[in-house]
A = this chain, B = another copy of it.
Amino acid sequence: MRLRASHLHACLADPVLDTMNFLNEVTMRFPRAISFAPGRPLERHFDSRRVLGEMLASVTATSEELDKRMQYGPAKGIICEAIAKMLRVDEKIEAAAEDIVITVGCQEAMFLAALSLRDAERQNVLLVAEPSYVGIVGASKMCDMPIEPVACGPDGLSLQSLRETIASVAASGKRVAAVYVCPDFSNPDGTTMPLASRRELLALAHTNDFLILEDNAYGMFAFDGERLPTLKSQDEHGHVVYLGTFSKLIFPGIRVGFMVAGQRVEHGSKTTSLADELGKLKSMITVNTPPASQLAVLAILEQNQYSLENLERAAIASYRNNRDGLLDALARHLPDAAALGISWNRPAGGFFLTVHVPFEVTDDLLRHSASAHEVIWVPMQYFYLRSGGERQIRLAFSYVDHDRIDEGIARFGTFLRETITAQSSTAPSDKENLK
């Protein structure tokens, strides 16, 4: 039997679902290229045999005890208590265990958030800080959740753009249900929201009565001194739904994320919690998060007195070292960057950095860079809903071999120079057209 694509879900035709395929394809086709594309954690820090082994060792009771854990279990998870302790110790977040939902990676948390907020009349709108993580955009499109972008600047989310978007959504007769934001070392642009904007965002949420979906996938990887407080830790009025993950620190294959959603939901006179509602949705998607994965996380938390800071230290050193190597290499190979119209930011943590270039970055240029220069990166426009980011490139420094960063950036520099030269030699006709 043959099916017509037009008879399937419309989101399947959306380029956001193909972005990753295209990147994988480029990476596979040019295996010798040095890649600044994947925003992955370093395998050297995984220690997966030990982590998975601890899971078995830690269930100290009988084998029958372990068998019981492997039965169908509560949709919200079995390690909520331990996650609440960790949040208290590491993030100064006070969360009740019953307000936590354990998810199959943070991606399921995003999907559940988008799905729960997709009301029947499509009055709710989800605002997403742009450039945005493809996971929140893809999830929203899959559940027909209307989304609108909010611009970001060098300090992350622009409050000015947020105010304008709130006004335009209100003017269209719709309702801002939530704002998705990654305040710490954002994927893809590597920005950090300053404390003052965090406070202003919380105040705006309170005035306008919307939720904030705070994605804190990278906050633990702070390179330069003290971390700023998370939105959730400052969330006096309960506007923040906090999204966390163990993918970056333990390993992605653990597939354990979580969300804190203690908001009350009113059904006439009865009230429930948003966490309970999310649990109901989850029970029809994945039933529950694999208990073996949950128990492995539990074992790691228990061994570390519910603080992951010790575990983070070695990983932070690696990622900081890579960031520094990347910044050094950029300065070394592009000493005339300003004259060329090239600039980049200095991320204070996380996995990503943004390079601004004086030309439009296309898929063709990426292919050319991979084949002729053997260096791979990501066009920033992949992370924009409609247009934007055309003159930006995302460089991920988390997964590239430290020893190859210098060579990779040497190639990247050559590619940039070549492209600028090629475009300026074709530019006169454009300039003439502008006269």
Seen from chain A, the residues whose Cβ lies within 8 Å of a Cβ on chain B are 1-13, 17-18, 20-21, 38, 40-41, 43-44, 46-49, 52-53, 55-56, 63-64, 66-73, 104-105, 107-108, 111, 115-120, 123-124, 135, 138-139, 142-144, 175, 177, 205-206, 209, 211, 237-239, 251-255, 263-268, 271-272, 274, 277, 280-281, 283-293, 296
Contact = CB atoms under 8 A, between A and B. Distances in A.
A111 B284 contact: yes
Contacts of A63: 47-49
Contact of A12 (B40, B281, B289): B281
Contacts of A1: 205-206, 209, 211, 237-239, 263
Among A3, A52, A139, A142, the one with the most B-chain Cβ atoms within 10 Å of its Cβ is A3
Nearest to A139: B284
B292 A5 contact: no
B255 A288 contact: yes
Contact of A104 (B8, B13, B118, B286): B286
A40 B253 contact: no
B253 A71 contact: yes
A40 B73 CA distance: 11
* Copies of this subunit: 2
A414 to B, nearest CB: 30
A361 B377 CA distance: 63
A263 to B, nearest CB: 5
Among all A-B residue pairs, the 7 with the closest Cβ atoms: A70-B253, A138-B284, A70-B251, A5-B267, A46-B67, A255-B290, A253-B291
Given A46-B70, A56-B56, A72-B253, 15 more contacts: A7-B175, A8-B116, A8-B117, A8-B265, A10-B119, A12-B277, A38-B72, A40-B72, A47-B63, A48-B66, A52-B55, A52-B66, A105-B286, A255-B287, A255-B288
B107 A286 contact: yes
Given A111-B284, A284-B111, A71 B40 contact: yes
Contacts of A104: 104, 285-287, 290
A128 to B, nearest CB: 14
A2 B264 contact: yes
Contacts of A70: 43, 46, 48, 251-254
A131 to B, nearest CB: 17
Nearest to A251: B70
A135 to B, nearest CB: 7
B292 A6 contact: no
Contact of A284 (B17, B255, B284): B17
A292 to B, nearest CB: 6
B252 A9 contact: no
> Which of A43, A71, A142, A293 has its CB near the most chain B CB atoms (within 10 A)?
A71
Given A3-B265, A104-B104, A264-B2, A67 B40 contact: no
A71 B252 contact: yes
17 contacts: A1-B238, A3-B211, A12-B116, A12-B277, A17-B281, A17-B284, A38-B72, A46-B70, A46-B71, A70-B253, A71-B252, A138-B284, A139-B284, A253-B290, A255-B287, A285-B285, A290-B292
Contacts of A120: 9-10
A300 B28 CA distance: 31
Nearest to A6: B119
B290 A9 contact: no
Contacts of A73: 253
Nearest to A17: B280
A135 B285 CA distance: 9
Nearest to A209: B1
A212 to B, nearest CB: 10
A254 B8 CA distance: 30
A292 B52 contact: yes
A286 B253 contact: no
